Amino acid sequence: MKGTRLLTITLSLALLPLGVTLRADEGMWLPSLISQRFPDMQSKGFKLTPEDIYSVNQACLKDAVVLFGSGCTGELVSNDGLLFTNHHCGYSYIQRHSSVEHDYLKDGFWAMKRSEELPNKGLSVSFLDRMEDVTGVILSGYDPSTMTEDQRDSLTRANSRTLTAQVQKEGKGIRASVEALYYGNTYYLFVFRVFRDVRLVGAPPSSIGKFGGDTDNWMWPRHTGDFSIFRVYAGPDNEPAEYSEDNVPYHPRKFLRICTSGVNVGDFTFVYGCPGSTTEYITSPEVRYIAEVSDPQKIALRTQRLDIQKKYMSQDQKVRIQYSSKNASTANAWKKWQGEAKGVAKMKTVQRKQDYENRFNEWAKGTRYEGVVQKIAEAQARRQPYYLAYEYYNEAVRTLEIVQFSASVFSNLSSKSRIEDLSRSFYKDYCQSIDEEIFEAMLTSFDRNIPEEFKPAFFKEKLSEFGSVAAWRDDVYARTLFKDPDKVLALGEADTDRVKADPAYEIYSQFYNWYEQTLRPVITETTRDLRPLHREYMQGQMDFEKGKAFYPDANLTLRVAYGNVKGYSPADGITYKPVSTLKGIIEKDNPDIFDYNIPQTLRDIYAEGGHDDQPVCFLATNHTTGGNSGSPVLNAYGDLIGINFDRVWEGTMSDIVYDPDVCRNISLDVRYLLFNIKYIGHADYLFDEMEFVTR
C-alpha cells in the first residue's frame, strides 16, 4: 500500500516538469512584448533577436505580414509585393472571377504576366506600422469610485476616437484602432497602412487547393494545397492607393525569404499572424454552455443545412459552383465545434475550471476579487436562455436566403443601382429549392427547440394559421416577389409598403422585432454586467498566479506563436507522423469522389517518377486559431517554411483550453506551393522575384 503510494508520487513528480515544459507551447504573444518570451524561444531553438520580430526603428518580420481581407493573414515574399495566403482565404475572390466558361475555382488561375493579374474590389491588406500600450491615454479621466460601467465605456470609446482620429491624419491609407486586451485591463493602439489594390496572381485548381474538401478539413493526415497568390499594388509613390491602372507593385519594407531545406521533427517553428478569437480565461459555467449547449445545437442545425445543400450540389454542376463557398463556410465551423465540444469534455475542462475557481475563491477571500466568480455565474445563468434563442435566430432564421435578401433590398429602395448590384450577386448564387428545404428544416427546429415562452407571437400565429411549417413555407414562396428578379429590379422608393407586406420580408421584420424587443435587452444588459466582471476576474487570475505569463485572448491583432514540428497520437494505438507527401495524395486520389479527384496533370507528373517524397503538409505545436489562416510559418532563422491553414480537429478546443498532447496547427509545406507554381501553373517566372535559402 505504502509502496504503491510512493510509486504514484514518484511518477507524478517525474511527470510534472515535463507537463510544464510542454505546456509552454501554449500562447499567442504580442510581438512588441516578445522579448519576454525570448529566453524560452531561444532555449527551443530560435536564432534571431526580438528586434527581428518587432521593431519600430528597423525593417523586421512584422513588415512582411499582413491582415488579409477582414479575417485572414498573408505574407509578402518579394520586393514586388507578391503575397501568399491560403486558397480558402482567396476563395471568394477566385469565385467572383469564375463562371461556367472560366471556372478558376475548378481549373485554377495563373497570370502569365502582370497585366493578366485580376483586381479584387473590396479586398484590402493591412500592414502593421506600430503598436503601443495606450492604457493611460484611454483610461484618462476614469474614476472607478464614481463612474458606472457605461460611463467607463463611453469614456474609453471617446478617448479611443480622439486618439485614432489624430493618428489617422499621419498619412494616406492609415487606419488606427484601439483594442482592449485582457478584457480591458490594457488598451493597445494599432496603426496600419491599408492597401486596397490587391490582385490575384495565381491559384491552383480546387482539386489541389481544396483537396480533401470538407472530408479532410480539420484532419490529419492532410494533403491540401491550400494556397493562393496575390500581389499588392501601390501608387507610383509606393503609398496606399485605390485601384488604378497606373498603380505599381508595392515594395514592402521587408519580404520573407523562402527556405527550401524543409522541416524535420523537432524543428523550431513560429507563426506570425492574426488569430481571431479565443476565450482561455472564462469560467466553468461559460465553458459548459459552449461545449454542452451551444456547440451541439448549432452542429445539429448546420448538419441539416449541409445535407440539403449537398443533395442539390451533387445533382447539378451549376448549383455546385453557386453553393461551393456557402457550403464550405457552413461546414467549417460545423466541424470545428465538433472537435471543440469533444476536446473540452476529454480535457475535463469544466471540472478543472471548477477546481481552479475553488482555489481562486479561497485565495480571493477578503480581497477585491471576492465573489467575482459567483457573480459571473449568476449573470451567465440569466443570459443563457436568451443567448441560445439568439443563436437560433442567427443559425436558423438568418440563414433563409430570400428573407435576408428582402431585407437588403428594403434598406436600399432609394437606389436603383444598389438594387441592381444586390440582385446580380444574389441571383447568381441562388437556388430556390435549397432555400425552400432549408426554410422548412430551420423553422421546424426552431419550433421544436425554442421554449414556448421564448417564441415570437408572430411565429405561433403563422403555425396555427397554416397548420405546419411546410404549408407556411409554400405560401411564402408562392407569394414573395423576391423570387422574381424582374419584379425586384422594378422596385423603387414608392414600393415601401408593398415590400413591407411581402411574406419573406414580413418574416425578416417580425423576427427582427422579436430579437430587438425580447432578446436584445437582456443580452445587452448581461453583456454590460459581465464586462467589468470578466475584466476583474482576468486581473484576479493574473494576481492569483503572479509570475505566470498571461497572453491576452486573441482578437485579430498580430501575434506570435511558437513551438516545434511534431506529430501526435489522436487515439490509443495510433501515432501520426508530422509530415505528409505527394505519395499520400496519389493514395487518396479517386476520380469518383469529388473531394479526392486530382487533376490529370498531377497524376501524369507523379507517374513520371521522382516525386514520391514531395512534401505537402506538416504539423507543429504552434497555438493558432481562425484568422491565422494564411499566416507564415517560419523557421528558427525567420525564413518561410510553410503557410498555416488549419488545426487538427482533436485540438480545436485550444480556443478554450490548450492540450500540448493533441493541439497541432497544420501548414502547407512551402515547397509544395513551389511545386505547384512549376508543374501545375507553369508560372516559373514568379521564382525570379523570390529569394531562396537553404539551411
Residues with a catalytic annotation lie at: 88, 226, 629
For CA atoms 458, 459, 460, 463, the dihedral sign is positive
- 75 forms beta bridges with 65, 84
User: Interacting stretch for ligand GLU, rule CB under 6 A, among 201-209, 443-451, 567-575, 626-634?
Assistant: 626-634
How does 91-105 read in b/e, with b if 16+ C-beta sit within 10 Å? Answer: bebbbbbbeeeebbb
Q: Does the protein bind ligand GLU through residue 647 (CB under 6 A)?
A: yes
Using DSSP's 3-state secondary structure scheme, residue 634 falls into: strand
Residue 631 CB, nearest distance to ligand GLU (Å)? 8
User: Interacting stretch for ligand GLU, rule CB under 6 A, among 297-305, 312-320, 378-386, 619-627?
Assistant: 619-627
Residue 666 CB, nearest distance to ligand GLU (Å)? 8
Structural contact between residues 283 and 73, judged by C-beta atoms closer than 8 angstroms: no
- 85 forms beta bridges with 228
Structural contact between residues 360 and 544, judged by C-beta atoms closer than 8 angstroms: yes
Interstrand relation of 632-634 and 197-203 (parallel, antiparallel or unpaired): unpaired
Q: Does the protein bind ligand GLU through residue 629 (CB under 6 A)?
A: yes
**How far is it, in rounded angstroms, from Cα 350 to Cα 147?**
34
Q: Does the protein bind ligand GLU through residue 627 (CB under 6 A)?
A: yes
Nearer to ligand ARG (CB atom), residue 360 or residue 645: 645
Q: Does the protein bind ligand ARG through residue 629 (CB under 6 A)?
A: yes
User: Interacting stretch for ligand GLU, rule CB under 6 A, among 389-397, 416-424, 568-576, 639-647?
Assistant: 639-647
Q: Does the protein bind ligand GLU through residue 445 (CB under 6 A)?
A: no
Using DSSP's 3-state secondary structure scheme, residue 638 falls into: coil
Pick the binder of ligand GLU from 212, 240, 252, 626 (CB under 6 A).
Answer: 626
Nearer to ligand GLU (CB atom), residue 96 or residue 222: 222
Grid cell, residue 336, equals: 470545428
Nearer to ligand ARG (CB atom), residue 247 or residue 580: 580
Residue 433 CB, nearest distance to ligand ARG (Å)? 23
Q: Does the protein bind ligand GLU through residue 624 (CB under 6 A)?
A: yes
* Beta carbons within 8 Å of 434's beta carbon, 6+ residues apart: 308, 309, 312, 319, 323
Q: Report CA dihedral (524, 526, 532, 538) to the nearest 10 degrees.
A: -120
Pick the binder of ligand ARG from 646, 650, 655, 669 (CB under 6 A).
Answer: 646
Q: How far is CA 657 from the centre of its chain?
A: 17
**Within 294-333, which residues bind ligand ARG (CB under 6 A)?**
328, 331-332
Contact mark string toward ligand ARG, 196..225, x via CB under 6 A:
--------------x--xx--xx-------
Residue 213 site contact among ligand GLU, ligand ARG, none (CB < 5 to 8 Å, cut-off depends on kind): ligand ARG
**How far is it, in rounded angstroms, from Cα 109 to Cα 44?**
40
Grid cell, residue 25, equals: 507551447
Q: Does the protein bind ligand GLU through residue 27 (CB under 6 A)?
A: no
Q: Does the protein bind ligand ARG through residue 401 (CB under 6 A)?
A: no
DSSP assignment letter at 112: S
Residue 393 CB, nearest distance to ligand ARG (Å)? 24
Q: Using only the alpha carbons of the chain, give its radius of gyration.
A: 26
| Closest to 299 (Cα-Cα) out of 344, 342, 331, 347 | 331
Residue ranges that bind ligand ARG, judged by CB under 6 A: 88, 210, 213-214, 217-218, 328, 331-332, 626, 629, 645-646
Q: Residues in the site for ligand GLU, rule: CB under 6 A?
A: 624-629, 645-647
